[in-house]
């Protein structure tokens, strides 16, 4: 197991890169960007665009979103995100986000034109006084300019297609190959945004917690959640191996939840239906996202595919072991560790490896269910 113990390393590297690029010392503080005077509440909201598609991507950006919101008199921003991020559900009780609007994903010959028009539509609907684009892409920057947004910020990274429509400061071109977490940390330094931790600290809806407790609270703990769903086969560990892990850790976990989406239920029932007859293994593929997050948060630990629930587990502060397929999990949370089959082959991860990872962390970290007050 490759435990991701160096949580702060990525953020610190990004901040040092930004400080060198701006001629700052570690103790230095950049000038406040124009348009950020908080002496009085100006008209219009602040719109933040996080264009990546996944729930995990959204969790990486959440500390930055909160820092931008903290700089506003109202303490809130409007978040533009992709529909696949499910941001409106994930951040339903996030106080720094007043509302979520979705920027559609387009393909085909007119993709660029459609993306400009769609973000222009968002700007005309929200009527923001400022737009912060947490990427280097130029089309939303052009759309914000066309919509007459007074303040427009973005990564830049030497991309003229974005920088021509925005105000600086920008990240340097030399940072293009860096990880997104490095870029976010550097961007925060450039704009004087205060981020004390990259831990997302995702907030839970008390009503969702109450619903999960009412449905499952009688089941004995500690609970283990198996994240058996994924967006593609290359990220999906075989159901039979999850079943073998569940059996091998029966002495530790009297209750094991199999968490997936509605599309996962038929596959699981066809391949490992016998697991769900004893009452110990619970199929949980019918939960809305807020209740899935609550279930994970109430559990002792999580083992699962590289997917949204894995990132939710880390974001709500639960020990999470990720089974890696096509891409490694980023080191943004101290709660995450990973198993990697090598060369993107999730099927190379053995049952014995997964069992050893769970047992080691269970012992070292004294896993136990967490008690969360409900509504």
Question: Domains along the chain?
Answer: 2-190 (3.40.50.2000), 206-365 (3.40.50.2000)
Rg of the chain taking only CA atoms, in angstroms: 22
Query: What pLDDT is stored for residue 278 in this prediction?
Result: 80
Rounded CA separation 196/297 (Å): 23
Rounded CA separation 226/256 (Å): 7
Cis peptide upstream of residue 163 (ω within 30 degrees of 0): no
Which stretches does DSSP call E strand in 242-365?
Answer: 255-259, 281-284, 301-305, 320-324, 336-340
Q: How many CA atoms lie within 13 A of 48 on its CB side?
A: 27
Question: Among 109, 110, 51, 107, which residue's Cα sits nearest to residue 81?
Answer: 51
pTM: 0.84
Query: What pLDDT is stored for residue 35 in this prediction?
Result: 43
Rounded CA separation 56/326 (Å): 15
Count how many residues are written for the chain.
Answer: 375
Rounded CA separation 346/365 (Å): 26
Regions in the chain scoring below 50 on pLDDT = 1-13, 15, 18-39
Query: What pLDDT is stored for residue 272 in this prediction?
Result: 86
Q: Is the dihedral of CA 58, 64, 70, 72 positive or negative?
A: negative
pLDDT tens digits along 16-54: 554 444 444 333 334 444 444 444 567 799 999 999 988
Which string of DSSP letters, residue by residue, matches 223-274? EEEEE---SSGGG---HHHHHHHHHHTTTT-SEEEEE--TTHHHHHHHHHGG
Rounded CA separation 361/353 (Å): 12
Rounded CA separation 21/5 (Å): 28
For the chain, helix, strand, coil in percent to 5 are 40, 15, 45
Rounded CA separation 214/358 (Å): 27
Cis peptide upstream of residue 230 (ω within 30 degrees of 0): no
Rounded CA separation 308/290 (Å): 12
The β-bridge partners of 9 are none
């Amino acid at each position: 197991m490759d435990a991701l113990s160096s949580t702060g390393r990525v953020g610190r590297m990004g901040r040092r890169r930004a400080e060198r690029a701006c001629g700052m010392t570690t103790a230095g503080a950049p000038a406040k960007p124009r348009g950020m005077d908080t002496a009085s509440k100006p008209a219009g909201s602040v719109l933040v665009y996080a264009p990546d598609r996944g729930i995990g991507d959204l969790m990486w950006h959440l500390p930055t979103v909160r820092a931008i919101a903290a700089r506003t008199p109202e303490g809130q921003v409007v978040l533009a995100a992709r529909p696949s991020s499910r941001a409106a559900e994930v951040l339903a009780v996030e106080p720094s986000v007043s509302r979520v609007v979705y920027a559609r994903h387009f393909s085909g010959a007119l993709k660029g034109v459609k993306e400009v028009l769609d973000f222009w539509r968002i700007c005309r609907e929200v009527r923001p006084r400022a737009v912060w684009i947490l990427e280097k892409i130029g089309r939303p920057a052009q759309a914000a300019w066309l919509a007459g947004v007074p303040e427009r910020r973005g990564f830049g990274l030497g991309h003229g297609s974005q920088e021509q429509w925005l105000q600086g400061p920008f990240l340097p071109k030399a940072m293009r190959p860096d990880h997104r977490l490095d870029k976010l940390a550097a961007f925060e330094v450039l704009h004087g945004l205060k981020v004390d931790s990259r831990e997302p600290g995702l907030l839970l809806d008390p009503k969702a917690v109450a619903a999960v407790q009412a449905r499952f609270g009688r089941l004995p703990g500690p609970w283990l959640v198996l994240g058996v769903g994924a967006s593609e086969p290359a990220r999906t560990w075989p159901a039979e191996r999850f079943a073998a892990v569940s059996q091998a850790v029966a002495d530790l976990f009297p209750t094991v939840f199999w968490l997936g989406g509605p599309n996962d239920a038929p596959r699981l029932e066809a391949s490992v239906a016998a697991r769900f007859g004893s009452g110990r293994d619970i199929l949980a593929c019918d939960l809305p996202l807020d209740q899935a997050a609550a279930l994970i948060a109430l559990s002792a630990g999580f083992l699962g595919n590289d997917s949204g629930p894995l990132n939710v587990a880390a974001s709500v502060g639960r020990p999470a072991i990720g089974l890696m397929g096509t891409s490694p999990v980023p080191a943004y949370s101290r709660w995450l560790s990973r198993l990697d089959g090598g060369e993107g082959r999730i099927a190379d991860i053995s049952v014995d490896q997964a069992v050893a990872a769970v047992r080691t962390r269970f012992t070292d970290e004294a896993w136990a269910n967490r008690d969360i007050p409900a509504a």
